[in-house]
Structure 1
């Protein structure tokens, strides 16, 4: 499932096409995805202008001129894809170079799993395609968006000011759960997933099974800049493409080529001088990858 870097990458790809633009037509091709769509969703979206496009945890939020907010969750296989007719230059020829927000390919033929289609006033089209239908969309009043059931209990954003060294050290103190499980707890910090927690703990030299409450406060506090570095690097790389994930322009993310432990079971540790190999254990049904020598 896409984690924070993948969702943020998609949001950044959509922003030049959607922010400040009006939805001239919304087409909803089925009554539901993971859950039923809200009543009259197509009618409520048609004519609305997108005021801002933001992210909360693993959700994209589009604030609309109608004082409603569209919530988008990609799920396991959801993709937000952009297409548009090629822009024409003054001499009648298509420009040679594309810039962010300009899309130089025709609208593709509709596909079976194109469930929601948003036609923008620029001619751009944003299509939500979801083969497995584990994604979701919902509409709620913008003023009450933070109270939505999917958002209300979320912890602070790991890239935000509320998530700092003092906060994390205090929240980990006394916890009897493994540090891996603690960092995956969306009530403690929003948006972290399995891949980036594995990478964070490797850089911090902390074993994923170590009890969160037994990590000394300075060492717990040191996790904050490491988390931010890992996420920032992943966003710069366009996220990690493992199965279905694509950026909004259809391109793959490339952070998977920088994995130091995730998915590297049996491979040599990349720490200089370390002769151990990466191991895998299962914690709460999820694979944890770590170096038995470097991580204690």
Structure 2
């Protein structure tokens, strides 16, 4: 049984007072000017769960709680130079990958991962907008599947993203989630966390941790709040953070699920923006996560 997130965060504080070897986690993603998702959410989640966060920015978005008004992709050579700068100096224990935007960036990131071979790779395939519109062209989805997903320890799609990856309809039930498992295994990652948050009529929020030889159901009470901006970024970053600290994949996913559940449960304590606000990354208290 994995320890609770609260217990884990307290133990991290104790460990950090006796050791300077705080694990380093790299996030490769887009910037959210509103601070609720993307690079900003990743850094908060990694910090809150006890790791040191560094970043490679792939795009700059003009964004707030009401939506995205503009996207500026970072030039390809600068994405590559950021990756080289981080990997040639910092001892990166785990990498979390979010928004990559196009085929060229996907190929550069995949090449750098093969070059530097970090121990753990977590991919949150940011592919589908809340509206249901694809954020990646079909050519980019193909590149993601062919060059990047096979390098991952775990991929964390929500239901629309899993549908886009497998060319299937978006699941409308847990039975249909189960029916996707073979196709998700075929993507080549060591594991897939299929997130069931979109099944809003279900009493619980159930996720499937799918490995090459089995699966596990992870369940938490469904929490009703409009403040869920950045949940996917936050969960995948927490999983990467826990992997960097030496936890097994199963433990990291369990701890990540507990962390995001707590962050959502405390989201309404914040009053950020007029739309869909962020989750509360530091719900455990700043004194526990320094």
* Greater relative contact order structure (CA < 8 Å, 6+ sep): 2
Give the alignment's TM-score, normalised by structure 1: 0.25
Which structure features the higher share of helix residues?
2
Bigger radius of gyration among the two: 1
TM-score, scaled relative to structure 2: 0.25
